Structure formats: C-alpha cells, structure tokens
C-alpha cells in the first residue's frame, strides 16, 4: 500500500489551476497508475514549485546502477522516513507532491477460505476533489549517463474507516499543508506532524470490479462496480 492510484476525473484545466502546473507538462487522465509509471508531480525549485514527471519507485543516487530496486521502493513509511537510509536524504531535501484523485486497496474475502479472491476498493476524498500525496523524490545518474528521476509515496497507519481493508494508507496532504511540505525551511517536527491519516469523514470508498487487477489496463473500466455474484441454480428435483 499504496500500490495503485488514479488521476481520473479532473480536467487538465482544473488540475493546472489547483496545483499551479503551467503548460509545460502534459496532463492526462489515468485510471490505473502502477509502479514504474511516470507520474505527475510538483517539486520545489530555485524559482518556486514546478510541475514535472517522476518515475514511481524511488532509486537513491547510490543505487543508480540498480534501477530495478525502484519497484520495491514505491512507498516510504512515515514512522521511519526521516531515519531510514534509503529515504532520509529525500525527506530532508527532496520532498514532492504526487497528484491524484483516488487510490486502490484490496481486501481478502475471508469467507471463501485461504485461497479467497480479493475485493478491490477505490478510495477518494469525500468531496471527490483532486489531492496530493506526500512524496519523496531522488535523482540518480545511470551508468549510461542518463538522469533517472524517481519518487515514492509516504504512507501512514490507516484510519478506522480503512483499517478493515488494509492497515496502511497513503498520506493525503491537506491543501494548506502542501506548501509546508515543499518548503525547504520546514523543520523535521513540522514535517512529521503532516504525515497523518485523513479522518474517516474526509474519505469515501466503494467496491470496484476485477478489471483493475490487471496493471496493464489503464481505462475507465477500472472504476466500474463489481459484477453481481452469480446465483447458483437450485439442485434438480429427483422425484
């Protein structure tokens, strides 16, 4: 967690206005963003915040010759982000906003036994507005001399509404906290205070069908409701 998310509903104009994206970065609707994808982000620069694209799955500068580590580094735990070696430098100096409007989580259907299927849920803000995950980013130089810019999403303990589905959830920043998250002058205590779960009444969730399970599919079908369970036919009468 968080392993997939969306940027499905807002039109480009809404997102450009909400996050000050400008016109230099393409904005497209996404329904099934997965590890290794290029994701819409905002980073702090010398001339203020700037929109960019980062590859989801953080590769620290000292692992530039091992880009395959990225998929295992899509998330950073809020509880250890400031002291774990792979994330510490990014937490101190390279924080970012990762723009989204929802994320997915899966719950195993325990009543079906040990090999039970999982039910997917789509989780959004209750007001369905776009938002920003708290993110970290890094730049590494590959052996071929190319700059590899990657990111991770910070997660925290799930709120009570979600913990029955999963014990973790991504940190969704309040709009008024986004500037502080990007600000190089923000102190460790101030930053850690931002890494909390949204309250129950600030989120909404609904079940979706199994289409989202295929990370290769990135269409609106991911958000369709699950099909009704097949109704078993009654046994034939023998007499």
Q: How far apart are CA 29 and CA 221, in angstroms?
A: 13
Residues 6+ apart with CB under 8 A from 91: 76, 81, 82, 136, 191
| Residue 105 among the catalytic residues | yes
Residue-wise pLDDT for 81-136, tens only, equals: 999 988 999 999 999 999 999 999 999 877 655 667 899 999 999 999 999 999 99
CA dist., res. 61 & res. 76, Å (int) = 16
In this prediction, the residues of the chain whose per-residue pLDDT falls under 70 are 1, 46-47, 62-72, 111-115, 229-239
Closest CA to 32 of 224, 166, 220: 220
State the Cα–Cα distance between residues 218 and 145, nearest whole angstrom: 31
Catalytic residue among 2, 96, 151, 222: 2
Kindly report the pTM of this predicted structure: 0.90
State yes or no: is 2 an active-site residue: yes
Active-site residue (options: 96, 105, 151, 222): 105
Q: Burial level of 82, CB count in 10 A (0-12/13-18/19+)?
A: middle
Helices (DSSP H) in the chain: which residue ranges? 12-19, 85-93, 178-182, 188-194
């Amino acid at each position: 967690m968080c392993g997939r998310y969306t940027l499905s509903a807002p039109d480009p104009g809404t997102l450009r206005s909400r996050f000050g994206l400008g016109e230099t970065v393409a904005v497209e609707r996404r329904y099934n963003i997965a590890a290794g994808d290029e994701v819409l982000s905002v980073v702090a620069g010398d001339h203020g915040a700037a929109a960019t694209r980062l590859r989801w799955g953080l590769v620290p500068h000292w692992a530039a010759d091992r880009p395959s580590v990225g998929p295992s580094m899509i998330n950073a735990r809020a509880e250890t982000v400031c002291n774990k070696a792979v994330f510490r430098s990014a937490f101190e100096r390279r924080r970012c906003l990762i723009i989204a409007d929802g994320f997915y989580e899966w719950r195993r259907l325990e009543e079906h036994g040990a090999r039970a299927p999982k039910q997917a849920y789509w989780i959004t803000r209750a007001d369905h507005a776009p938002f920003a995950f708290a993110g970290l980013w890094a730049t590494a130089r590959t052996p071929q001399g190319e700059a590899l810019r990657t990111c991770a999403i910070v997660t925290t303990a799930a709120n009570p509404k979600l913990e029955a589905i999963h014990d973790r959830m991504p940190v969704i920043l309040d709009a008024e906290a986004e500037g502080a998250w990007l600000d190089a002058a923000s102190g460790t205590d101030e930053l850690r205070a931002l890494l909390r779960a949204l309250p129950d009444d600030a989120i909404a969730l609904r079940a979706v069908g199994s289409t989202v399970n295929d990370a290769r599919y990135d269409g609106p079908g991911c958000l369709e409701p699950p099909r009704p369970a097949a109704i078993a036919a009654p046994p034939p009468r023998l007499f």
